[in-house]
Amino acid sequence: MNMDLKKHQVSYHTTNTYETSNALTDQTENIWIVLHGIGYLSKYFIKYFDELNPEENYIIAPQAPSKYYLKNQYKYVGSSWLTKENTALEIVNVLAYLDAVYAAENLPKDKNVIIFGFSQGVSIATRWFATRKMPCNHLVLYAGGIPKELTVDDFDFLQDQKTEITVIVGDKDQYLTGDNLKNETARIDELFQGKARQHIFEGGHEVKKEIVNQLVSNETFS
């Protein structure tokens, strides 16, 4: 017997959390909006930024909405921004959440804004940055891929906006190797019209605090 299945859709109000670190004051120079990768919780991901000068750096770490238990054990919890299921709808929901975080923070306009995406967070950072034409001084794409639906036209607004773009990847990153890395590099060059600088470090699919620190120091990447 065949069942007559129909998919329906409803809208409802939901609430989510996010983390911040340090205080936003007149002495603050940099405001970071940091988007974690799959399997993380924002309260742990934000610790990668704890070596930054607390008086000069204010960190905002949004939380991916979909949580689950890691490694099939009911002990550690991770989260995901998106899956291949209902992706288009979930993108709308996730970007609406980020808009709400941004509005809640009511950030001053005289600070240096850094949007930082790691792994799956890169896809969220670039979608949010491109669709909202976010005012941003520095876009950091760390060990992740740019969504296929984004085109050069989505980043046209950068012609009127002085945004520094940095791409970071480990030389032993198991997700970005060989042809994958080559194709992603070519895509980045196309989308940002050669304005993105790429840094390849010694390491795997991991956030390194020394690299985070260098993003707001006068040091060059080693």
pLDDT of residue 29: 97
d(CA 146, CA 201): 19
Q: Is the pTM of this model over 0.85?
A: yes
What is residue 4's predicted lDDT score, i.e. its pLDDT? 86
Question: CA 203 → CA 13, 34, 49, 166, 171, distances in Å?
Answer: 42, 21, 18, 17, 6
- Residues sharing a CB contact under 8 Å with residue 111, sequence separation 6 or more, in sequence order: 28, 29, 30, 31, 58
| pLDDT-derived band at 220, boundaries 50, 70, 90 | low
Average pLDDT over residues 10-15: 92
Residue type, 65: P
CA distance 43 to 21: 10
- Show the domains of the chain with their CATH numbers: 18-214 (3.40.50.1820)
Distances in whole angstroms, Cα of residue 167 to Cα of each of 2, 43, 68, 181: 51, 24, 29, 11
Q: What is the mean pLDDT of the chain?
A: 94
In tens, the pLDDT along 44-80 reads 999 999 999 999 999 999 999 999 999 888 899 999 9
Average pLDDT (160-166) is: 92
pLDDT in tens, 111-120: 999 999 999 9
Residue 222 above 70 pLDDT?
no
pLDDT of residue 28: 98
Run of H or E including 184: helix 178-191
Predicted local distance difference test score (pLDDT) of residue 176: 86
